[in-house]
Amino acid sequence: MIGSRDEFFAYANYLEAEHRRLQRIVRSAQDAFAGSLELAESQLSTQRHALIDCLTDLHQQLDQHFEQEEQGGCIEEAVSHRPALASRAKSLEAEHAQLLDGLDQLIRCLGRHVSGQDWVEVVRRFDQFADTLRAHEAVESDILQRGFNLNLENA
């Protein structure tokens, strides 16, 4: 549990570093999805399996990240300083399950033989997932910064 302002600051910075690390994974998966649109049908099957591994790993890491956030008390602490942030914080927590579920659905979809226009749709859905995750993390960062009037960018 967070005690002093210094502990909060250190933990908030840790979460920000985790966001950047997770975003690098998401970006490389997006690049792999985009590159797959150029592949021949015969190569797509191999790429589908590589993407299943990549998204399964991402799912596991996001699951751990969300659990850390929910149990770490950082968001709660921010809200205790600025109660007006409470409803945004509550929505954020609800989004964790939705994001993991969206990723699960994509992994299941990749497990089937997908090609042609259906594959283009899968690529679009992952881009949409990436955008939703970025927006989610941006709101979270905003709550952390407002909660303690921190500028994490300059940390």
**Interacting residues with Fe ion (CB under 5 A):** 140
Shortest distance, position 65 Cβ to Fe ion, whole Å: 6
Residue 74: closest CA among 153, 14, 8, 135: 8
- In the complex, the smallest distance separating the C-beta of residue 136 from Fe ion, rounded to whole angstroms, is 7
| Helices 116-148 & 86-110 angle (0-180, nearest 10) | 160
**77 versus 140: smaller Cβ distance to Fe ion:** 140
Give whichever of 72 and 114 is closer to Fe ion, judged by the CB atom. Answer: 72
Burial group, residue 77, by CB count within 10 angstroms (0-12, 13-18, 19+): buried
Residue closer to Fe ion (CB basis): 15 or 51: 15
* Cα(64)–Cα(25) distance, integer angstroms: 15
In angstroms, what is the minimal distance from the CB of 62 to Fe ion?
9
Within 13 Å and on the Cβ side, how many CA atoms surround 16? 17
Pull the structure tokens for residue 131: 């955008």
Smallest gap, in angstroms, from Cβ of residue 110 to Fe ion? 24
Nearer to Fe ion, 55 or 74 (CB): 74
